[in-house]
Structure 1
């Protein structure tokens, strides 16, 4: 409903500055620099970007997460990176951890991260594996889907 003098939706949309998104993102900073991209798509990551993403995740898992929470090898085995589902879960948790401590967070990020961590630990990726020695995950190959379904 448009009252006399009130702008229409189209007028409001047209009045937005084209770079409003850049300004909004600039507010999501940690110190002087923006947090930057934190999500890693392991399926499509380039060979060029992979080493840095691997090192960042390994540093977080091995130098912070495991020692900070005194996690046993039954929770995160030494060969965690060789288990695709665990790698995906830990990568998602790492991204959530980074943004949980963003200055723009309203204060719920850290507790939200802990809730996500608790939930993640109940999933299959964190079922006890490789406590004694590395065991490859079971795999399954799917038959091709029909062209139309």
Structure 2
């Protein structure tokens, strides 16, 4: 199918070039060899239009007619190439801002994935997967618009004094929320009991113009009991390892290891002592959770 980017050219200009009366130059005044009109047309389309890639709503007035016609040519190609029905692209697509924005974004993407004109993964990995998702979004938009149900364009219904898709703001609530300034402060909890905090609002002269609500913070919770749990971290024959977890809110505690032959009589373990075979004992790893 023909490219949606091609545009009609004036034959008079090409007749003059063929006659040698107005041959294109290289930009420095040197005439270029004769260029076939079809090739020259392609060269003149070397880059995207000046407006392409701009937000649709930001396209300047001087480009809008060209933008609409370029988008229409592309939509005609897109519908024919992918065999899309009116449930996906209705005949009044240009009167629906959401559908137009979707199609314009798709046009920009389709141009981008083919822009380098070299074999690559862009068309397969980017364009074609998005074509399927694009159709799903368009179907939803068209279904919500309701045009295909009546066979004619249907304007959105408005309820109340505002137009369709216009938010009826509570302006006072919006102004209060949008103009709110927020500051943060780190405070210390009281060591005992409850501490109360509030913020005063002052003007540039130091005058108090308002106060905040009051917030109460109690003293930090403390772990009342000290608890320890010992587990076998590794039971390897040569060097078994024990791990102890100590639950406490204190920072002045340490761990001392004890051994017992019967679980009744306990002696402090000498980490530097040697056993009967002359092997120095290993200290168990200590894990303390505070």
TM, length-normalised to structure 2: 0.37
Greater displacement, 110-119 / 53-62 = 110-119
Separation (CA, whole Å) in 2 of partners of 1:106 and 1:137: 44
User: 1:16-54 CA distances to partner (integer Å, 9 max, x unpaired)?
Assistant: xxxxxxxxxxxxxxx863346532412222221111111
Structure 1 unaligned residues grouped into runs of 5+: 1-30
Q: Work out whether 1:148 is the aligned partner of 2:162.
A: no
The one of 153, 161, 167 aligned to 1:134: 153
Residue in structure 2 matched with residue 11 of structure 1 by the alignment: none
Radius of gyration: which is bigger? 2
Higher relative contact order (CA 8 A, sep 6+): 1
Greater helix proportion: 1
Equivalent pair of 1:40/1:91 in contact (CA under 8 Å)? no
Structure 2 unaligned residues grouped into runs of 5+: 1-41, 158-163, 181-290
User: 1:39-89 CA distances to partner (integer Å, 9 max, x unpaired)?
Assistant: 241222222111111111000001x11111111111111000001000000
Separation (CA, whole Å) in 2 of partners of 1:70 and 1:61: 11
Residue in structure 2 matched with residue 110 of structure 1 by the alignment: 123
Equivalent pair of 1:86/1:125 in contact (CA under 8 Å)? yes
The one of 125, 129, 133 aligned to 2:141: 125
RMSD, aligned α-carbons: 2.4
Q: Which 4+ stretches in 1 moved above 4 angstroms?
A: none
Task: Give the length in aligned residue pairs.
Answer: 118
Separation (CA, whole Å) in 2 of partners of 1:67 and 1:40: 26
SS of residue matched to 1:74: coil
Separation (CA, whole Å) in 2 of partners of 1:84 and 1:92: 12
Separation (CA, whole Å) in 1 of partners of 2:118 and 2:48: 12
TM, length-normalised to structure 1: 0.67
